[in-house]
């Protein structure tokens, strides 16, 4: 079974500073990887996803993530954060085994706080 | 295009009761998934429906059930509620069951069990 670890429960970053959120996954084959963001009282919104090809993927809102197979990681980055980026960020891994779709396995999330 | 709509948004029940939550997917989306979100366990997959058939199920007891109608709307039911069932229940839709497809989430139904 697959699993996802987000080592940082909370991260505080100053507005305008760079950001990196860590994500490590466990899965025997090439995974499908996702980053979702959840603002307070809202559902989740997809930031970006990786299935194959270029290991550096671009997403919405200026986010990017890099898939590193050797490290089983899929870290999320942003060069300059804005106060509106304060939210909960979830990394997720998906599979497509047995001819049918499986549910996504999510990490526990990282709560991002932006300091003025 | 309207997003995923979940009703009710908030509800309070007592132990032993049952609850039904509803989800209307984005128009044209035939797959509906349900997730439970709690502070302790995070987001956990409940089940996914496609064309009125359950395609996959997470590791939850039989008290958790669901169904999907011909118009792709879905309901989930929790019987004999326990305190631990207090959670935000999120519904998500996508056009097909392909994992590569983006999940579009609703805002959730927050259930409190007293």
Whether A72 and A12 have beta carbons less than 8 Å apart is answered as no
Residue B105: what are its φ and ψ, rounded to 5°?
-95, 145
| Chain A residues inside the 8 Å CB shell of B46 | 103
Nearest CA among B42, B23, B41 for reference residue B33: B23
> Is the pLDDT at A105 greater than 80, yes or no?
yes
CA B87, CA B35: separation in Å to the nearest integer? Answer: 10
Nearest C-alpha in B relative to A99:
B98
pLDDT tens profile A14-57? 999 999 999 999 987 878 999 999 998 888 999 999 988 889 99
Cβ pair A109:B42 closer than 8 A: yes
Closest CB from B58, B105, B107 relative to A103: B58
Which residues of chain B, if any, have pLDDT below 70? 1
The position carrying tokens 């999907």 is: B68
By the CB < 8 Å criterion, does A49 face chain B?
yes
Q: Which structure tokens are listed for B95?
A: 């056009």
pLDDT for position A101: 52
* CA distance between the termini of chain B: 37
pLDDT for position A99: 46
DSSP conformational letter for A68:
E
pLDDT tens profile A56-104? 999 999 999 999 999 999 999 999 999 999 999 999 998 765 444 567 8
pLDDT for position A102: 67
Residues 6+ apart with CB under 8 A from B51: B30, B68
The position carrying tokens 């466990």 is: A26
pLDDT for position A30: 78
């Amino acid at each position: 079974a697959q699993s996802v670890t987000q080592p940082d429960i909370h991260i505080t970053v100053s507005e305008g500073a760079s950001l990196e959120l860590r994500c490590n996954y466990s899965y025997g084959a090439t995974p499908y990887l996702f980053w979702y963001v959840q603002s307070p009282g809202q559902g989740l919104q997809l930031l970006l996803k990786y299935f194959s090809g270029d290991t550096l993927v671009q997403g919405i809102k200026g986010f990017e993530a890099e898939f590193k197979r050797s490290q089983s990681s899929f870290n999320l980055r942003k060069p300059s954060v804005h106060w509106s980026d304060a939210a909960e960020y979830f990394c997720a891994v998906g599979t497509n085994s047995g001819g049918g779709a499986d549910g996504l396995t999510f990490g526990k999330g990282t709560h991002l706080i932006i300091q003025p | 295009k309207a997003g995923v709509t979940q009703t009710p948004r908030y509800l309070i029940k007592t132990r032993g009761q049952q609850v039904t939550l509803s989800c209307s997917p984005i128009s044209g989306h035939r797959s509906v998934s349900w997730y439970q979100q709690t502070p302790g366990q995070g987001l956990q997959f409940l089940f996914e429906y496609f064309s009125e058939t359950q395609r996959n199920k997470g590791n939850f007891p039989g008290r958790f059930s669901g169904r999907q109608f011909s118009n792709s709307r879905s309901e989930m039911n929790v019987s004999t509620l326990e305190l631990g069932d207090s959670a935000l229940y999120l519904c998500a839709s996508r056009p097909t069951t392909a994992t590569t497809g983006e999940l579009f989430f609703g805002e959730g139904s927050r259930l409190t069990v007293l």
